[in-house]
Structure formats: structure tokens, C-alpha cells
A and B are shown apart, each in its own frame.
Chain A
Amino acid sequence: MSGVEQGALGRPDERVEGWDKVAGRARYAYEQPVPALYVHPVLSTVARGRVLAVDTGPARASAGVEAVLTHENAERLADTSDAEFAVLQGPHIGFCGQIVAAVVARTPEEARRGADLVQVREYAEEHDVVLGPGHPRLYCPDELNAYPEADTRQGDPAAALERAPVVLDRTYRTPMEHNNPMEPHACTVLWEEGTGGGSLTVYDSTQGVHPVRESLAQVLGLHAEQVRVVSEHVGGGFGSKGSPHAHNVVAALAARAVPGRWVKLALTRQQMFTLVGHRTPTIQRVRLGAARDGVLSAVVHDVEEHTSTVKEFAEQSAVCTRMMYAAPHRRTTHRLAALDVPIPFWMRAPGETPGMFALESALDELACELAMDPIVLRERNEPDLDPETGAPWSDRRLVQCLHEGARRFGWAGRDGRARSRREGEWWVGTGVASAVYPHFVNPGSEVEIVHGQGVYTVSIGAADIGTGARTVLGQIAADALSVPAERVRVRIGDTALPPATVAGGSAGTSSWGSAVVAAARALREEHGSEPGEGARARAGTPEDAVAPGYSVYSFGAHFVEARVHADTGEVRVPRMYGLFSVGRVLNPRLARSQLVGGMVMGLSMALHEHTVMDARLGHVVNHDLAQYHVAAHADVQQVEAEWLEGADVRATPMGSRGVGEIGIVGAAAAVANAAHHATGVRVRNLPLTPDRFLVGPRE
């Protein structure tokens, strides 16, 4: 921040809510201390078809049941244009695990028992839930998540591949995956009738209270002012809480059926596998054309994915290939098949996470083919300007991440030949992969700062999903106001506060923090350095927070040591090291936790995560945490994240970029590359389960 003393920023302050979390006193959405009724949803058991009849008699006769909502008796919604929110509006079934009824009862046990007693007769139609290569339903979407173009092309990639002395043509697959934040999605809701057409209060577990308010108001035909959404603490989201989902609408419908009484709805872990989004499986064909010295002439990345028939979500898996490495001839394409599956949605770094697994695996394969160090190969293809736009980079330090990371990891002297190191029963190898994540600053947030008795209260409806937003926004405000952090109080997570954009796209701190700086400047301009009691100022995220004309991304390099058991194929990862370039790190303690957390999720993706769809019955088979394994303590050994010093004042007034997602990007490729180096077995289908290594070495 130009002209602002650096005091609080860059300091490793502890989380302001740290003790509340450690004691379990931090209140999550379900934990509001109000007498409430409980809602338990009933889900469809066929993947495509319709509800023929719902017999609610036994459920209504069951002890404690107050209401049973079905598509026949539920309130008609004002706006059903978003089919995900058109809950209980008709008999159509679009996927297995869709809400087809809901029971409202006095206790959680009675609600669950009531839900068991609801008898839903379903008509099943033929369904299709499995994405295979060249699926007959593939189509080209009009746009991708966050990107306007599904396909891009530069030069003549087909001809360049013909001419290239070395051509690599490989297909990589990533499976369907689920976010699985530890706190299941939940809400506590009250509908009060009265003047002004009534009011809805929602305590929600969400990455954005204002987006939830907007959606619910629209769906229910209310004015935004009639809806208040509060989200004090959020037990993780990883994208899945980036928008409301069907359960929010059901909870609102239930509340409106019992005016004046609170209702609580917490999805079960099993229900989360169909109702709150997932990452699509991907089939990615990557073709690289290169000269013998490794210089790329052509890069082609063609992606096939699924979406739901209910609503389209087009994951942008190949966008990283548009800008990552230099090559005059380039093509990216995305094709979707709309299947009878739950609705896919954001999962940590949608697009980059699966896309960089493919691209960075392919780079490693090319390096092996050319008998070249994979770091040298990447360096040879370092673009001076953004290959997609021709714009200069704001702060591209990928090569520095690779070189410095290699030094700190101890890469030098590595024998590049696969299957060259054995320790006892274990094959040992090391791997590298690059990371990238775009920089976003979302317009639309506002911050109000009020001065009283020497304390500055900073208010914005932002969400702290574990990032430490409360803490870091206070640090930003302290420096922007030139006061000690103890004199700043931060209020977030409530639509009664000024509007905030979603905690997503690694853009939370960038977007909200830019507004904090603007509001602090406004306060000083309007009220000087000795403001009176009640002096206040308000400002929004400036439109020019990001300097125009630059290509702004974060970069990083992952280094991994993998050990693969010679007899069982078990993969262990004793060491992960990531070096990132993310602009100025505003709070090292919090940033490290996010980067390490991303890497751990990347390790989990590499080794374990895989949602299994039952082709015959159309449901998610492994819909709990015993069968959908996420990395546990025993899977995670040494994981270290560091960063390059520096600031990117073109990115935000704070000089920072986001840190929430880049840690996962490329991590799985680094693990797979290390496992290949260890064994000579190239795994192109995630996850790296033991069976993949029991085939003997092959290239």
C-alpha cells in the first residue's frame, strides 16, 4: 500500500477466533441456541424418472411429525429458472439422491424416523451415469465456469504436430471427486409473517451470505431486504458452499410451512454426495509437439467431462494450457456429456486442478522421452508474454520457483532414470510439477468503517471458511488506517453488513481487502487522522484494483518424494515441498496453513479420492467417509510450503494475490511423476491405488 506504514501486514498474527475454535465455542450454522423443529429430506432412489405417488400417511402418523412436504403440497416457488433450486415443484427425477420429500418433526430422531416412513413410488427410466471416451452425448458448452470460450485455437496445431520431430499423445483421466468439508451443509431458518410481507432469517454454512440471500429471495419471490443470512463460522467449503443448494430451499419451504418457529436442517454425510456438488470426472487428451531440444511447437488439450441433465456446470480444465508454456500452435477444447448424475460444481481450483494433472504429467513424460531434466524442459518453454493474450506478466516467477525450490528440496544430482533407486522393499523416486492459479478481484464488495472510542469497526458480509479472513482483514485495516491491530474490530458473515462477494476463486482477501483499503482511505480523507465519535466512511472494491493490461497469475513448484512398495504397490509420500509466488504474504501463519492444506488435498487426490457411480443402479456407491477416503494423519508426513518474497502491486493495493487454491494445483502430478520415477510405471488414471503399480514397468 503506497504511503502506508507496514506494521500489521506480514506479521504472523494468531487467528482472532482461534481459542473459540479450539474450545468448540465458535458457533456454526446448525448450532444456534434456539428451540427448533428438525427437517430431514427424503431422496430419490432412481437416477432418472418421476415420482408416481407419495404416501405420507404413515409418516404423518408417526410421533412428533409436524409436516411432510412433497411435490404435491409444497409451496409453488416464484422463480424456477435455476433447476437446482426448483425443489419439490414437480415429479421429475433427474438424478439418484434428489430431494423428493421432507419431514418436519419435533426432534432429529423423529424427523429421521418420519423420513423413513414416507413411501415414494418412483417410475424409473433408462439412465446413463458413466462418462466414457467419445460419449455419444458430448456437446460443446456455450461457456465455461468463469471463462467465456469453450474452445481456443492459435496457429495450426494439426500441421505443427505433423511436422514436430517428437510428438507425445497421451490421455489422462481424473475421477469424480467430492469436496467433503468436515462440517456438513446445514441451516437454521425462521420465517416470520408480518408487515412488509414477512421475513426470513437463515443461519447458513456458506462461502457467501449475500449470494445466498440473492438466490433465496429470487426463488421465493421476496425482496432482498426480507431475507437475512448469517454465517459466523463455516466448517470448510472448498467450493461446495459457494452457492446455496437444494437443501437451503427445502429448509426455507419447511420454515414457511411452520411460521414463527425455527427449523434446523443438517444434511447427512451421505446426502452430501448428491446435493452439494462434486468435481466432474475428466478424460483429457494432451498432445505435445516438440523439437529434440524440448522447445514446444504445439500444445493441444482436449477435455471431456460430464455435467448433469438438471443444470449445466462446465469445468474449465484446459484453460491452464492456454497460458502455461510457450508454443506458437495451440488448441484447447471442452466437451460435456449431460448425464443423469448429481449436479457438479466448484471443487477447490476447478479447472486448474484436473487440468494441471494432465498437462504437468505430459510435460514429465516428454522430459523422459527426451532424457531431459523436467525443470530444464519447463524453463525452455517459458513464455516472455502471456501466450493467450500477448500481455506482459505482472509477476511470473515460475522459473525462480522451480530453481529455488529445487535447491531447497535437494533436487541436484538426481538420477533421471526411472526405477533407479531401491531402499529395502521400496522403490524411491522424486517428481516435480508446476502450479498456477489466476488472480481474480471480484467487483461488488463494500466496506464500512466506523470510529468510536479509539476503535475502528470494519464491517463487511465476508465469509471466513477457515482462511482467517477476520484476522487478515483486521491487519489490512490496521495498516491502511496506520493504527495498531488492537484498535481494529472486524465484523463479517451477515447480510446486515455491507455486501461481500463469495469466498471463492482465491479472491476473498483480494476483493474484500481492496475495499477495506478504499474505505480506510475514505475515512482518513473525510475525517482526518483524529476522527470524532461515530465518524464513518464506506467504499467499494475499486474497479481498477488490478492494473489493466497485465496478465496476473500466481505460480508455484511442487517437489515430491514418493516410495512405492515393490510387492504391494502401496504408495507413501514422505516429503512434499512447495515453493509459491503469490505476491505479498499478508499473514505467514495463515497463508502457510492454506498452502499446506491445498497440498494435502492434492496428495489426497493423488492417492485416494475416487467417487464410484454404480452404472446399473445410478447411485454413488461410496457415499461416506469410510469408503470415500480422504487423506488422514497417517497418509500425511512432511509437507512444507514456502514462498518467494515480494509484492505485486498490480494485483491488489495490498500487493497480495490469493493463496487458497494454488496449493492443490499440480500437486497430484508431482506425486504421480515421483511415483513414475520410483517405479517406471506411468499412472495416467487417478488415484494412484496400489493395483496400478502391480503391472510391471512400462512406458
Chain B
Amino acid sequence: MEATIILHVDGVRRELTVDTRTTLLDALRDRSGEYSPKKGCDHGQCGACTVLVGGRRILSCLALAVACDGDEVTTAAGLAGGEDGPHPLSRAFVEHDAFQCGYCTPGQVCSGVGVLAELEAGMPSHAAAHPGDPVEATDAEIRERMSGNLCRCGAYPAIVAAVREVAR
């Protein structure tokens, strides 16, 4: 069965016809040629497909496209190529060489931007020693929050350094 949906991808309105089984990730990649979000597992286990929907990070392989009708989707392409210049985190990734093969990278950047917003909003995580502790951008916090984004190239120390730099 097919359905027609509207997505606003990095500020561009797109009308798409999708199979009702199509995930948001496949709608972006296979149906609209937006290959910035990557598919590493298709099962919510790697984070490569992370995008921001309404400013919050989600795994686009676990979202059905039809459930995202009308949503604002931001990908790493939108973050790097925004009207006011690239997001500081995109720049920090380049400077810290926070990647090698680059395949996990768009997901890491989107996830990192989501983490920055969560820290800003004081949202708690498992890394806090005690519930209710103030939320700070410590390395332990960043690592905990970024742990859904795997990097087989092992760029973790540089990714954490990039997020830490922008968080401060």
C-alpha cells in the first residue's frame, strides 16, 4: 500500500509517495535521494541513521515514514550547510578528525547536536551519580549519551573532544 506524505528536509518541502512499510530512513535515502543519514543496521542498534526531528534526535530506521508526515527533519547536510554557516559541531568534527571512514559521522553529528540540546535543557542521564544532580558536559555524560552511535573506526576520543569543545 502506498501513501503520500510531506517532509520538510533541511528546510526543503518534499512530497513523497512511500510504501506504508517504508521507514523514514528509506524514505530519505531511496525515495528522495537524501543520502546524508546512513544505514548501518536498520534495527536501531548503531545510530548511523540518526536525524533530528523537531530538534530531537531519533533513529530514522525505527520510524515509519507515514508517521512523520509533516515533520521538520534535519540531517547532517542541513547542519553543515545551514544559512548561517556550518554548525560549530560540524566544524569541530573536521578539526578534531573525529572520523575516518565517515559512515557513522552524519549520525554522530546529529546525535551530538541532540546531546547539546539535552544538556542545555538539563535532561538527566544514567551518567549522573545521583538523580537530580545538575547536568554538566563532562566526558562521562557525553560518552553515556553518545553510546547509541557506534564508530567502528574507533574515533570515539576525538568525537567526545569535539562535543566537549562545543558544549563549553
A contact residues vs B (CB 8 Å cutoff): 14-15, 17-28, 31, 33, 107-110, 113, 180-184, 233-236, 238, 266, 268-269, 465-468, 589-590, 592-594, 596-601, 604, 624-626, 630-634, 636-640
Contacts and interface: CB of A to CB of B under 8 A. Distances in A.
Given A19-B80, A22-B109, A235-B38, A625 B45 contact: yes
A109 B101 CA distance: 28
Contact of B45 (A466, A597, A624, A634): A624
A466 B101 contact: yes
Interface string B88-99: 001001110101
Interface in B88-147: 90, 93-95, 97, 99-106, 109, 139, 142-144, 146-147
Main secondary structure of the interface of B (DSSP, over half): loop
A604 to B, nearest CB: 8
Given A26-B102, A625-B45, A183 B38 contact: yes
Contacts of B148: 632
Interface string B20-45: 01100010011001011111111101
B73 interface: no
A24 B37 contact: yes
A182 B90 contact: no
A596 B36 contact: no
B36 A624 contact: no
Contact of A184 (B40, B149, B155): B40
A23 B76 contact: yes
A25 B157 CA distance: 24
Interface in B138-168: 139, 142-144, 146-160
B48 A182 contact: yes
A630 B46 CA distance: 10
A24 B38 contact: yes
B71 interface: no
Contacts of B105: 21-22, 24
10 contacts: A25-B80, A28-B103, A109-B22, A182-B150, A182-B151, A238-B152, A596-B154, A598-B154, A600-B157, A625-B45
B35 A593 contact: no
Interface in B31-68: 33, 35-43, 45-46, 48
A67 B9 CA distance: 34
B100 A597 contact: yes
Select the residue from A110, A268, A596, A633 with max chain B CB neighbours within 10 A.
A633
A107 B46 contact: no
A632 B147 contact: yes
A182 B109 contact: no
B94 A235 contact: no
8 nearest A-B residue pairs (beta carbon): A24-B36, A600-B154, A21-B102, A235-B103, A466-B101, A466-B100, A24-B106, A23-B80
B77 interface: yes
B70 interface: no
Select the residue from A21, A598, A601, A604 with max chain B CB neighbours within 10 A.
A21
B19 interface: yes
B46 A21 contact: no
Nearest to A234: B101
A27 B34 CA distance: 11
Nearest to A628: B45
A269 B43 CA distance: 9
Interface of B: 19, 21-22, 26, 29-30, 33, 35-43, 45-46, 48, 75-77, 79-81, 86, 90, 93-95, 97, 99-106, 109, 139, 142-144, 146-160
Given A25-B77, A466-B101, A633-B143, A182 B38 contact: yes
Given A269-B43, A601-B154, A468 B100 contact: yes
Contacts of B93: 18, 22
Contact of B29 (A19, A31, A268, A636): A31
A630 to B, nearest CB: 6
Select the residue from A26, A108, A233, A600 with max chain B CB neighbours within 10 A.
A108
A593 B77 CA distance: 23
A386 B160 CA distance: 41
A140 to B, nearest CB: 34
A369 B50 CA distance: 51
A468 B97 CA distance: 10
Given A465-B101, A634-B143, 20 more contacts: A19-B80, A23-B76, A23-B81, A109-B19, A109-B21, A109-B22, A181-B101, A181-B152, A182-B150, A182-B151, A234-B101, A235-B101, A236-B100, A269-B45, A593-B153, A596-B155, A625-B41, A630-B152, A636-B154, A637-B143
A540 B156 CA distance: 37
Nearest to A26: B102
Nearest to B126: A634
Contacts of A27: 35
A346 B79 CA distance: 37
A639 B151 CA distance: 15
A20 B94 CA distance: 10
Contacts of B94: 14-15, 18-19, 22
B157 A466 contact: no
Nearest to B106: A24
B158 A593 contact: yes
A113 B160 CA distance: 40
B106 A23 contact: yes
B154 A24 contact: no
A109 B97 CA distance: 36
Nearest to A626: B45
A625 B80 contact: no
Contacts of A109: 19, 21-22, 26
Nearest to B51: A24
Contact of A593 (B21, B38, B100, B103): B100
